């Protein structure tokens, strides 16, 4: 047995460094690489013929020069073969010193790792087969069938080896005759295929003797020969048998033969007798259906794959593959074999893609500089791409693309991609330098060092890579320079864009950038001599490292920094605001005065800059000021919380409990209320805080209102170019018109301010009613008896709240705040009547009293025509008036209405053990809302309502936890 070595084909198709996919389809056969190799060798031995089998003829001694192989010119292959590294001074084969040189067949046996035991069996079987077919060509021999009938178990030492050998022969027959037949026919062949398929399947799964005397083997022989002997036309039997020439089975077998030209001990080296071996392989063409094109294609692929497998060191393999690529592409133009053309296209695509992946980063692929390997890889990669592009251009139905500059454009792509990748790696080092520079670790600015490094990189590119790349693109050096110029341009622009002033660091960076630019331009100019356009295109691409003028640049930077500082200052200033009502005479916060002052100073400074007439910068200014105002508005509002936090949670519903009004302690005995400090903690108010926060909130309202008013004035000034004279006077006098163009206004932030004012107004109202008046309104009104706790106690306290509003609120806001206070009172009154707890009870006689109290409350806000408008009051009291209509109804009418609106409340449908579910609380209180009607019944102070609620809903008389 020859020494074992990794199968070349397996290495080629499973590479760790960028595998290349085979251009040939995978076989749908359960055959291993060893099975393919052994079958290929059997075909080779059969192709050598009877004479070669009976006597091993000695191979002719190698001549001083290499004999040409049919697929290559003598000169071309001689050059490639020498480059591939064939060696004459090392032992290659079993023939030792003093022995005859090995024959070609023996060389192939050794290279294909065929054991002597297998070799003897093959020769024995094929000799006997040839004996029975004297005078017939080897193409008339169905090798697997003959071997099956001649070789038996007795020829194997191990029965298991025979079983595997036998199974392989049957599978090869199946593949060649049924799965990959070279001649396909329809109709009458179907029955033959089915019968042959069944025979092969039965034999593969049985141990039937395959000798000639076997009936099964005789039937198989007849069917197999009939299948293999078909002609293309079908009129006459074919003189040759077709069993191994179907695509891609034939290619797989032929690849196994071709891979044997590589030394099994030294990767990348071809054997000395490669010419004789390749010439001998031509004898298999008739059996395998190989033509010149397929041979060239297969050998090209084997050479390229071997180059990849040997870690891309043997440049001669690439050169030989490229030569074959040219030959096979030329043959493909006149070849009608579709499979060959498709395989060629796939092979070219694989080679082109594999080469291009490395060429797109050639500086990383060839870190020591351009070498012969890079030049060869460029040559074969560009050739493969060009052939594919030409073919696609010919078959395209659209306008054909001009491919005259294909190679030049591709090389330009490789240069730009590789230089960008190298620049990206340099930037990783630059980022580290930046951190060190900020911490005082390095003295030179990182971009200055980067500029120097790029200069060295450009010089290295010019000396090491450009001379090779110039073979396909005359401006290779100039393209590299332009690419690096563009890469550094982005960095220098980014660096300068964040600078407010030109300091030492900026100067050093600019000096380094200027030096680099001169070096890169010089490289481009030198290359421009050979360029068709004189390098004008590259010069246009290399725009000088210039930003705007210095003053414009400083102005832009100032604008950005000034707005950022404004935003930061607003956030810091508002944190220290106390919102005291005596902060300013006008009633708004001092922080607002400071914010407005800084905004005005920012605009004054901006309009002193030369960029102030550019609308885009005016818009940037307005946007920055708006952001500052938005921040102030958000901070002013967010600290106050939401109005809903002041609304007490609704207690669970109970029915009338007469004892709650007769026990000692009056109505408080029926409702255990928490102390005021407890209530304060529930709504998030510190116990040490003033009892009324209305003044504080009014200051916030005034502040936002004042801010919005001033913004309107600033907007007018913006329209007139920020003139010092008041816009109102300008417009009144008729001179000076608005500046050209529509500047951005403060409309968006104005809407936010208005929404914030309305939010705080509603919040202040809820705070005043539900918290400041909690005792008299929520706890006291109508508690323990309607007659003893009427609206007068509430109105008295409300008058004090209205006085505070009159004292603090801005004149333009007073009606809005009073209106919100009125609406909060109505909301609270509704809750008192419908969710005031078991301390309250109402009879139908109280309806008129409630109406009188409502009238007294509304009179407070209308103030005999001097208060709020009547339509505003009517709108605010619409809900409570609807609820009061229910208090005028008798208990019977209330129960009847509840049943109408809520059928589940029909007492007849309830049983002793099942009660109706309570209608859902929606908060939409009204005379047709079932939950509202139920609540009126719960607070109806009579036994009829109590009994109904007990029977229908099983409501308790008191809250859970009360005594």
pTM: 0.56
Cβ–Cβ < 8 Å for 339, 248:
yes
Q: Count the helices and strands in the chain (H runs, E runs).
A: 37, 0
Averaged pLDDT for residues 359-380: 91
CA 875 to CA 858: how far, in whole Å?
11
> What residues pair up with 68 in beta bridges, in sequence order?
none
Angle at 384 between CA 381 and CA 385, to 5 degrees: 85
Q: What percent of the chain has pLDDT over 70?
A: 80
> What's residue 926's pLDDT?
93
- The pLDDT confidence band at residue 31, using thresholds 50, 70 and 90, is very high
pLDDT grade, residue 465 (50/70/90)?
very high
Tell me the per-residue pLDDT of 262-299, one tens digit each, with 9 for 90 and over.
Answer: 987 777 788 889 999 999 999 999 999 999 999 999 99
In b/e form, how buried is each residue of 836-845, taking b as 16+ CB within 10 angstroms?
bbbbbbbbbe
Contact between 259 and 37 (Cβ < 8 Å): no
Helix (H, G, I), strand (E, B) or coil at 262: strand
Span 548-560, average pLDDT: 64
Closest CA to 224 of 204, 196, 202: 196
Largest Cα span, the chain? 139
Instruction: Give me the pLDDT at residue 338, please.
Output: 65
3-state secondary structure (DSSP) of residue 77:
helix
Confidence label for 109 from pLDDT (cuts 50, 70 and 90): very high
Q: Which candidate, 556, 562, 522, places its Cα nearest to that of 542? A: 522
Instruction: Tell me the backbone φ, ψ of residue 250, rounded to 5 degrees.
Output: -65, -40
- Greater confidence, 239 or 541? 541
Give the C-alpha distances (Å, rounded to integers) separating 823 from 251, 693, 768, 865, 873. 92, 18, 12, 18, 9
Cα separation, 791 vs 42, in Å, equals 116
Q: Average the pLDDT over each of 463-472, 637-646, 663-672, 863-872 and give the range with the smallest value.
A: 663-672
| pLDDT for the residue 63 | 35
Q: pLDDT at position 347, please?
A: 92
């Amino acid at each position: 047995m020859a020494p074992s070595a990794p199968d070349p084909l397996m290495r080629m198709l499973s590479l760790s460094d960028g595998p290349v996919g085979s251009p040939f389809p995978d076989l749908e056969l359960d055959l291993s690489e060893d099975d393919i190799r052994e079958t290929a060798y059997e075909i080779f031995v059969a192709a050598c013929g009877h004479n070669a089998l009976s006597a091993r003829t000695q191979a002719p001694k190698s001549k001083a020069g290499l004999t040409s192989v049919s697929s290559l010119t003598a000169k071309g292959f001689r050059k490639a073969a020498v480059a591939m590294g064939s060696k004459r001074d090392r032992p290659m084969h079993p023939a030792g010193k003093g022995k005859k040189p090995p024959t070609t067949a023996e060389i192939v046996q050794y290279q294909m790792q065929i054991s002597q035991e297998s070799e003897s069996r093959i020769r024995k079987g094929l000799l006997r087969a040839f004996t029975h077919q004297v005078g017939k060509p080897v193409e008339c021999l169905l090798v697997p069938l003959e071997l099956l009938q001649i070789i038996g178990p007795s020829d194997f030492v191990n029965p298991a080896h025979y079983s595997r050998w036998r199974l392989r022969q049957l599978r090869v027959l199946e593949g060649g005759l049924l799965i990959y037949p070279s001649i396909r026919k329809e109709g009458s062949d179907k029955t033959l295929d089915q019968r042959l398929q069944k025979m092969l399947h039965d034999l593969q799964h049985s141990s039937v003797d395959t000798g000639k005397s076997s009936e099964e083997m005789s039937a198989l022989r007849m069917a197999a020969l009939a299948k293999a002997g078909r002609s293309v036309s079908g009129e006459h039997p074919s003189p040759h048998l077709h069993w191994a020439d179907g695509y891609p089975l034939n290619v797989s077998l032929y690849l196994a033969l071709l891979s044997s030209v590589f030394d099994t001990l030294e990767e990348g080296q071809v054997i000395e007798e490669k010419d004789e071996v390749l010439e001998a392989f031509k004898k298999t063409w008739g059996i395998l259906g190989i033509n010149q094109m397929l041979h060239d294609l297969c050998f090209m692929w084997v050479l390229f794959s071997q180059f990849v497998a040997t870690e891309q060191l043997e440049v001669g393999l690439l050169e030989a593959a490229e030569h074959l690529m040219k030959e096979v592409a030329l043959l493909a133009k006149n070849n009608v074999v579709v499979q060959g053309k498709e395989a060629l296209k796939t092979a070219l695509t694989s080679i082109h893609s594999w080469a291009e992946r490395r060429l797109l980063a050639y500086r990383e692929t060839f870190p020591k500089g351009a070498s012969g390997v890079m030049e060869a890889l460029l040559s074969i990669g560009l050739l493969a791409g060009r052939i594919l592009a030409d073919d696609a251009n010919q078959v395209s139905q659209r306008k054909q693309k001009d491919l005259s500059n294909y190679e030049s454009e591709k090389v330009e792509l490789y240069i730009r991609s590789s230089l960008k990748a190298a620049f990206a790696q340099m930037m990783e080092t630059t980022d580290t330098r930046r951190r060190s520079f900020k911490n005082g670790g390095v003295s030179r600015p990182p971009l200055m060092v980067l500029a120097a490094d790029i200069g060295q990189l450009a010089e290295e590119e010019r000396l090491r890579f450009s001379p090779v790349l110039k073979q396909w693109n005359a401006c290779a050096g100039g393209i590299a320079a332009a690419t690096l110029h563009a890469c550094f341009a982005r960095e220098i622009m980014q660096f300068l864009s964040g600078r407010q002033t030109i300091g030492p660091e900026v100067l050093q960076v600019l000096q380094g950038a200027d030096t680099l630019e001169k070096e890169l331009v010089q490289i481009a100019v030198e290359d421009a001599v050979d360029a068709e356009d004189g390098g004008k295109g590259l010069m246009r691409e290399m725009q000088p490292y210039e930003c705007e003028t210095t003053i414009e640049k400083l102005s832009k930077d100032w604008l950005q920094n000034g707005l950022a500082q404004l935003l930061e200052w607003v956030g810091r200033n508002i944190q220290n605001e106390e919102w005291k009502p005596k902060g300013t005479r006008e009633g708004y916060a001092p922080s607002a005065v400071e914010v407005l002052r800084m905004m005005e100073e920012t605009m004054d400074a901006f309009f002193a800059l030369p960029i102030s007439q550019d609308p885009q910068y005016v818009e940037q200014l307005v946007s920055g000021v708006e952001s500052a105002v938005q921040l102030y508005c958000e901070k002013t509002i967010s600290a106050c919380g939401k109005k809903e936090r002041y609304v007490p949670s609704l207690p669970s519903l109970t029915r009338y409990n007469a004892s709650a009004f007769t026990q000692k302690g009056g109505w408080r005995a029926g409702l255990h209320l928490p102390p005021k400090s407890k209530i304060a903690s529930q709504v998030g108010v510190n116990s040490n805080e003033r009892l009324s926060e209305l003044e504080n909130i009014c200051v916030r309202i005034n502040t936002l209102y004042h801010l919005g008013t001033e913004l309107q004035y600033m907007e007018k000034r913006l329209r007139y170019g920020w003139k010092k004279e008041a816009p109102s006077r300008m417009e009144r006098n008729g001179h000076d018109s608005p500046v050209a163009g529509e500047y951005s206004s403060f409309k968006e932030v104005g809407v936010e301010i208005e929404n914030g004012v309305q939010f705080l107004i509603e919040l202040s109202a809820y705070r005043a009613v539900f918290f400041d008046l909690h005792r008299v309104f929520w706890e006291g009104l109508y508690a323990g008896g309607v007659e003893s706790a009427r609206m007068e106690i509430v109105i008295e306290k409300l008058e004090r709240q209205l006085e505070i509003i009159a004292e603090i609120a801005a004149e333009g806001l007073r009606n809005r705040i009073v209106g919100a206070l009125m609406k909060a009172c109505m909301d609270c009154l509704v809750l008192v009547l419908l969710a005031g707890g078991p301390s309250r009870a109402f009879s139908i006689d109280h309806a008129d009293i409630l109406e009188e109290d409502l009238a007294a409350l509304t009179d407070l806000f209308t103030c005999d025509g001097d208060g709020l408008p009547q339509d505003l009051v009517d709108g605010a009291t619409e809900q409570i008036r609807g609820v009061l209509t229910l208090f005028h109804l008798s208990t019977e009418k209330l129960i009847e209405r509840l049943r109408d609106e809520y059928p589940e409340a029909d007492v007849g449908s309830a049983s002793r053990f099942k009660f109706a579910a309570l209608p859902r609380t929606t908060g939409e209180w009204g005379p047709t809302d079932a939950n509202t009607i139920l609540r009126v019944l719960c607070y109806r102070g009579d036994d009829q309502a109590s009994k109904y609620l007990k029977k229908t809903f099983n409501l308790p008389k008191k809250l859970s936890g009360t005594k």
